[in-house]
Copies of this chain bind each other. A is one copy, B any other.
Amino acid sequence: MAHDQRRVVRPYLQATPIAPGCETTLNKKARMSFSRDEATFASAHKPHDSTDEVMARAARGLIERLRAEGAYRDFLPLHRDNEAYPYAFTHEIEGVHRINVFCSNDYLGMSRHPLVLEAAEQTLSKCGLGSGGSRNISGTTVYHAALEEEMARLHGKEAALLFSTGYVANEETLGALAKLMPELILLSDEKNHRSIIEGIRKSKLRKVIFEHNSIEDMERKLQALPYAAPKMIVIESIYSMDGHVAPLADIVRLKHRYNAMIYLDEIHGVGVFGESGAGVAEDCRMAGEIDIIQGGFGKAYGGTGGYIAGRAELIDAIRLVAPGFIFTTSLPPMLLAGNLAAVRHLRQSNTERTNLFRNVALLKQGLLQRGLPVMDSQSHIVPVLIGDAFKCKMICNGLLGKYGMYVQPINFPSVNKGQERLRVIVSSEHSPDDVRAFVDALADVMSNPTHACAS
């Protein structure tokens, strides 16, 4: 086949002309003379700084302020290696290469479980990298349908719906409720995750905030509302920065007494709690009382993505109106196949949960024995209160530099100022010796954080 080489460079321009404004760019002279004209015009009419200069200054100001507050975030790029898990590798810290990760949400090591890898690999080579479209426009595959069915069944609900992430699931579902029921009142725990807060904001529904996990305050707030007014109590099963567990049975009591529905974020509960990994609601035998369960695959299931489960017509309505569900590329099939394998495995295996809670118990006991300021957690999330951003960062640097142990400092905006903490996560894959070594290291570093940091 004879090819005209000139056509190869930008051949499509001949087939489909670019819009009028762009055609001028084919004529370099035209473009350059206009640029000079404009520069003259702009400099003659510029009594103030340009927008981009003002913007850059604002950005620098914000960055400097966060640095001054110790709230500037440096990300630590990790090399992961399934065979070394839960260890990872880094080249960022002098003298440290292999690090033991004590802050991953991959609680049960499912991200590298053989069944998960096999499912994802097979689907990758069969179906490719991405889905190629939104759910409505060629982006629904049999993997989407299968995972939605699985999650509905896991929670004993009629239907489920996938979202790009757990964050998006919260924001879009809560945001969409107003389209169904503009008079709905949302009662929201003061410690709810930012994705819930953003969803409530987006909904513009009337909201009432109650004290964290306080049945008394919840009841006071419910009593103050008319019985007939439609209400939804919005809570998490496990609060991600505190490890607190919601008093579900008491909340269900209030639901019936005050004519409310319950929206439950189970993102840190699924996989970890319940006999089939369906979360705290399953563990409490309360799943049937929850109207909307939100969960995701980015924590104990080792993958990525979020979902909701509930009554068929409600899930269908949200499917039809939530813009962040409709107008976005659907999740990659190979990822969904991995998620599904993890969910199915954890429906019948207790081994990982048993190991996780063995380690959690060891960790809590160790921290208490050492008199370290472990916070009141009822779950596998174990925060240690530091109360100062700089000190928090210093301790983490000490753990990393001296012991090769990685815990990320948790600062504002993840927690309030003065509540800075280490959020220690042991996984099911840590050995008891890993856990004991961590407690010893933390005790050492906390006894002299400045020294540790310098080392």
Contact = CB atoms under 8 A, between A and B. Distances in A.
Interface stretch (A120-128, A434-442, A447-455): A120-128
18 contacts: A11-B354, A14-B361, A16-B364, A25-B283, A38-B256, A42-B256, A48-B228, A50-B259, A54-B181, A55-B261, A59-B314, A62-B317, A104-B133, A105-B329, A124-B124, A137-B408, A167-B324, A167-B328
A207 B18 CA distance: 28
Given A11-B358, A21-B248, A165-B328, 18 more contacts: A12-B354, A22-B245, A41-B257, A58-B317, A73-B320, A79-B141, A105-B329, A106-B132, A111-B129, A120-B334, A124-B334, A128-B302, A137-B410, A164-B164, A166-B329, A195-B324, A326-B413, A332-B335
| Copies of this polypeptide in the complex | 2
Given A317-B63, A354-B8, A249 B124 contact: no
Given A56-B311, A110-B129, A137-B423, A378 B124 contact: no
A111 B132 contact: yes
Interface in A155-173: 164-168, 171
A264 B358 CA distance: 51
A223 interface: no
A228 B47 contact: yes
A18 B284 contact: yes
A401 interface: no
Nearest to A99: B138
A101 B42 CA distance: 49
Contacts of A19: 213, 244-248, 378
B51 A12 contact: no
A452 B109 CA distance: 52
A231 interface: yes
B165 A329 contact: yes
Interface string A13-48: 111111111101100100100100011011001111
A143 to B, nearest CB: 9
Most interface-central of A12, A144, A283, A380 (chain B CB within 10 A): A12
Contacts of A347: none
Counting chain A residues whose Cβ lies within 8 A of the other chain, the interface size class is 35 or more
B320 A406 contact: no
Given A126-B80, A283-B18, A316-B59, A329 B353 contact: no
A10 interface: yes
Contacts of A79: 141-142
Contacts of A8: 350, 354
A56 B313 contact: yes
B253 A140 contact: no
A100 to B, nearest CB: 11
A178 to B, nearest CB: 11
Contacts of A97: none
Nearest to A39: B256
Interface string A77-94: 111111001001000000
A58 B321 CA distance: 13
A130 interface: yes
Contacts of A320: 62-63, 66, 72-73
Nearest to A28: B285
A112 B133 contact: no
Given A12-B360, A31-B249, A195 B328 contact: yes
B77 A130 contact: no
A25 B249 contact: yes
A269 to B, nearest CB: 10
A327 B136 contact: no
Contacts of A383: none
Contacts of A14: 361
A397 interface: no
